[in-house]
Amino acid sequence: MTTLNLIATCPIGIEPLLADELRALGAAEVRESRAAVAFSGTLETAYRACLWSRLASRILLTLATFPAMTAEELYDGVSTVAWEEHLSATLTIAVDAVGRTPGITHSGFAALKVKDAVVDQVRERTGERPSVDLEAPDVRLNLRLHKGAGSLSIDLSGEPLHRRGYRAPGEQAEAPLKESLAAAILVRAGWPAIAAAGGSLFDPMCGSGTLLLEGALMAADRAPGLLRQRWGFEGWLGHDPAVWERLIDEADTRAEAGADLLPLIGGSDSDPAAIELARGCIKRAGLGSAVRVDVRELAHARPAVDATPGLVVTNPPYGVRLGAGEDLAALYGRLGEQLVAAFDGWTAAVLTSESDLARATKLRSHKAYAFMNGAVETKLYLFEISPSVVRAEVRPAPLGLSAGAEMFTNRLRKNQRHLGKWARRENVTCWRVYGADLPEYAVAIDVYEGAGPDEGRRFAHIQEYAPPPHIDSGRAEERLAEIVAAAPEFLRVAPEDIALKVRRRQRGESQYERREDSLGTQVEVAEGGLRLLVNLHDYLDTGLFLDHRLTRDRIRNLALGRRFLNLFAYTGAASVYAADGGATSVTTVDMSSTYLNWARRNMALNGFAESNTVRFERVDVLAWLTDERKRVEVGHVQPYGLIFLDPPTFSNSKKMGERTFDVQRDHVALLRDATALLAPDGVLLFSNNYRKFKLAFEELPELDIQNISAATIPPDFERNPRIHVCYEVRRR
């Protein structure tokens, strides 16, 4: 059977869950990307994904990928498809286009060029042309533009998969929750396992009942697509009705058997109109006797008397579309009280956009997961309900702290408030919240929000700088203890997710000396739409220099069409950015096998496995530079269009033999060797974190060197602009 290349699109944050779901449906070669999961499989696999995926937005069948830097390239690429195999002149078509390339910046124009190429080819071969129907086409095409390339697909789903068929057109409660997001919430909350064990489901603010309906479909083993009347593949010439009908029969059989598996499912809401909507949806879904809802104030919300403790899940107002200010905090307070009063022994899951509202429940959450509800950033907080989960009132500072410690916590609170808004606005999830702002409290505190398998966890990395000689060591230890005591409350981090280290000035050692030759325990985080691994406990540094965030983004913007070289590469984060930016090749050089293996994992995590164009070199960088310069000069190796050079301040590693490296002493020779590898129009970014560094411009007249340090310091490091220097270097 033919293997098809397929893509399932989804809301941001659902990708790992969707990848697992697709694997369970028989998908192969599953690869996550931003807001999508690519996979391969047979036509049956594609149909099964359409019928059974609870999390995907659309299922796309990729027909071709091609260069699309210009409108002409786009037209030519679309024309390579043999359209007589996919549609006839009597069918209607529509084209959806997303993304952009340097030469195509308007999605409507891109969609028009695709339509023209398709229609022109069909008319040339048949004498007739398909017409356009934007609302209900027989075949819907999807174009995705990214990094100078186009990917053209047939939309097998037609309309979005979250439209299950149980909601009447235009019928929706205020502040709606999409069905696919509701399903993702239930998966994260553990509902499939709870339902299998016979646990009940209840929503005390159910609105039009989306969470209850999706929970019932899961528990009853009902395919979410069974009620849909129209599919995007039905007008496609490659459609196989026999395969599809067999899958429908199988789904019907499973639904009949699953009807006996349903546990008690119910909900309530104070709005009679919302309950009326919910009852209509429940009836159309064929769940009239299985899901019970009624009008009830929150203070009286409670499960049926014979309900087995299970999951209470809700999407209360959180001020973006409904409610505001103190009324919301009071509402969440009442929700917390009712959960403790009526749902002892249950698991609770509450979706909200503000951590302060979650805290207003006065319940302690043991897990939190990030989701995008449309354009709104939200988190799902999970609670195990019992009287012991009630949170004590929040105090300005933990009891017993000194006046100095209260000053520290006030600064921490101020930084969190100011920088937290910036981080949420810019979607920054790993950032510095405190950088030795107060001399008496000489620590750097970074927060890391987990991604992928670690999504929902929040970590803190605290580095104490060794106190100067005039500071009493005993007093310094007391201050550190105060910091550690205050951190969980103010950073909203569990004590076990705090890493504490003492950073001392390195003398006679490599700057990044590791404790042991292993990757240790790693945590997955997100940055700039990419996934990276950090280790918060086993090394002096975590594997991700947060102050280089803007530098990495600059590398991505410069990388398109260039050969990229990463020298002193550490864990390869810059290599990941360059690959994502469209570099034609990526070479990562470091002398540490530990860090190169780390770099390999970072690259693979983002879909860039080792290959002819993705290379890792374990070698002394200085010696490698000398050899590579000779290879470039004789033409054995092509020069590089983009180089990132971020050396340590000092190194005397045993792997360097008798040599040592000092960035101030040796940077002139280093820059000469590195720029000798540049293509004529190439760019080198040179950075280091030696705070007294002075670049010897006068000794490098052959180079055009611009100090871009100010443009590479992110807002969370602006209080300490000497954290690094950065130069953009070109050959004259």
The tens digit of pLDDT for each residue in 603-660 reads 999 999 888 999 999 999 999 999 999 999 999 999 999 999 999 998 876 666 667 8
Q: Are 208 and 372 in contact (CB under 8 A)?
A: no
pLDDT tens digits, 195-228: 999 999 999 999 999 999 999 999 999 999 999 9
Q: Are residues 130 and 187 in the same domain?
A: no
Predicted pLDDT of residue 356: 80
Q: Are residues 199 and 327 in the same domain?
A: yes
Work out the angle at residue 30's Cα, subtended by the Cα atoms of residues 608 and 186, and round it to the nearest 5 degrees.
Answer: 120
Contacts of 543 (CB under 8 A, 6+ apart): 522, 532, 533, 534, 535, 570, 571, 573, 598
- Label residue 320 by pLDDT band (50, 70, 90): very low
Three-class DSSP labels, 75-112: HHHHHCCCHHHCCCCCCEEEEEEEECECCECCHHHHHH
Q: Are residues 324 and 434 in the same domain?
A: no
- Label residue 425 by pLDDT band (50, 70, 90): confident
Work out the angle at residue 682's Cα, subtended by the Cα atoms of residues 676 and 686, and round it to the nearest 5 degrees.
Answer: 70
Q: Are residues 675 and 713 in the same domain?
A: yes
- Label residue 396 by pLDDT band (50, 70, 90): very low
Q: Are 549 and 571 in contact (CB under 8 A)?
A: no
- Label residue 346 by pLDDT band (50, 70, 90): very high
- Helix then strand then coil, % of the chain, to nearest 5: 35, 25, 40
- Label residue 515 by pLDDT band (50, 70, 90): very low
Residue 47 in any domain: the answer is: yes
CATH of residue 477:
3.30.750.80
Residue 168 in any domain: the answer is: no
Q: What is the mean pLDDT of the chain?
A: 88
Q: Are residues 374 and 417 in the same domain?
A: no
Residue 581 in any domain: the answer is: yes
pLDDT tens digits, 563-587: 999 999 999 999 999 999 999 999 9
Predicted pLDDT of residue 404: 63
Q: Are 535 and 557 in contact (CB under 8 A)?
A: no
Q: Are 307 and 344 in contact (CB under 8 A)?
A: no
Mean pLDDT of 292-305: 93
Is the model's pLDDT at 168 over the cut of 80?
A: yes
Q: Are residues 372 and 294 in the same domain?
A: yes
Q: Which of 95, 122, 155 is the last residue of a domain?
A: 155
Predicted pLDDT of residue 418: 83
Q: Are residues 471 and 325 in the same domain?
A: no
Domain housing 346: 179-224+257-389
Mean pLDDT of 290-318: 92
CATH of residue 101:
3.30.2130.30
Mean pLDDT of 46-71: 96
Q: Are residues 361 and 410 in the same domain?
A: no
For 492, counting Cβ atoms within 10 Å of its Cβ (0-12 exposed, 13-18 middle, 19+ buried), the class is middle
Residue 421 in any domain: the answer is: yes
- Label residue 554 by pLDDT band (50, 70, 90): very high
Predicted pLDDT of residue 316: 92
**Would you state the structure tokens that stand for residue 383, as one six-digit string?**
């609670």
CA distance 329 to 384: 21
Is the model's pLDDT at 517 over the cut of 50?
A: no
pLDDT tens digits, 141-167: 999 998 899 999 999 999 999 999 998
Q: Are residues 478 and 541 in the same domain?
A: no
Q: Are residues 385 and 412 in the same domain?
A: no
**Would you state the structure tokens that stand for residue 249, as one six-digit string?**
């029969």
Q: What are phi and psi of 331, to 5 degrees?
A: -60, -45
Residue 161 in any domain: the answer is: no
CA distance 484 to 683: 44
Q: Are residues 659 and 704 in the same domain?
A: yes
Is the model's pLDDT at 507 over the cut of 50?
A: no
**Would you state the structure tokens that stand for residue 704, as one six-digit string?**
């055009």
CATH of residue 669:
3.40.50.150
Predicted pLDDT of residue 614: 95
Residue 229 in any domain: the answer is: no
Residue 451 in any domain: the answer is: yes
Task: Give the residue with greater pLDDT, 530 vs 102.
Answer: 530
Is the model's pLDDT at 711 over the cut of 60?
A: yes
Count of domains for the chain: 4
Mean pLDDT of 490-515: 61
Q: Are residues 41 and 99 in the same domain?
A: yes
- Tally of CA atoms within 13 A in the half-sphere of 697 that contains its CB: 7
pLDDT tens digits, 429-461: 999 998 877 777 788 899 999 988 778 888 999
Residue 240 in any domain: the answer is: no
Mean pLDDT of 414-436: 87
- Label residue 492 by pLDDT band (50, 70, 90): confident
Contacts of 622 (CB under 8 A, 6+ apart): 656, 659, 661, 670, 673
Predicted pLDDT of residue 358: 87
Predicted pLDDT of residue 174: 58
| DSSP notation for 38-82 | EEEE-HHHHHHHHHH-SS-SEEEEEEEEEE-SSHHHHHHHHHTS-
Q: Tell me which residue has tokens 């060794």.
A: 466
- Label residue 278 by pLDDT band (50, 70, 90): very high
Task: Give the residue with greater pLDDT, 621 vs 370.
Answer: 621
